[in-house]
Amino acid sequence: MTTLLEQAFESVRDLPAEQQDALARLLLQFAGVDQPAIELTAEEAASFDESLAQAERDEFATNEQVRAIWAKHGL
């Protein structure tokens, strides 16, 4: 294992289990290991459906709204 990969594992070791699992799934996908589909909760599915409906209506965030979100998260 490379030093960089060891550093990556060490940096995520203290993250919550859910975040660790999400990162593990991504790493496995990058390595070419098929992963099962993620099951959405009813709330997540409803939110996703609403997002798709908003896109169908061309209801997108303005540049200002996107910049505000980025700024809120230090991006």
pLDDT in tens, 11-51: 999 999 999 999 999 999 999 998 788 889 999 999 999 99
pLDDT at residue 41, as a whole number = 94
Contacts 24+ apart (CB under 8 A), 23-30: none
pTM, full prediction: 0.49
**What CA–CA distance (Å, rounded) separates 16 from 2?**
24
Spans of all domains in the chain: 1-38, 39-75
**What CA–CA distance (Å, rounded) separates 26 from 19?**
11
pLDDT at residue 65, as a whole number = 95
Distances (CA, A) of 51 to 58, 68, 73: 10, 19, 21
The DSSP 8-state label assigned to residue 39 in this structure reads: P
**What CA–CA distance (Å, rounded) separates 65 from 47?**
19
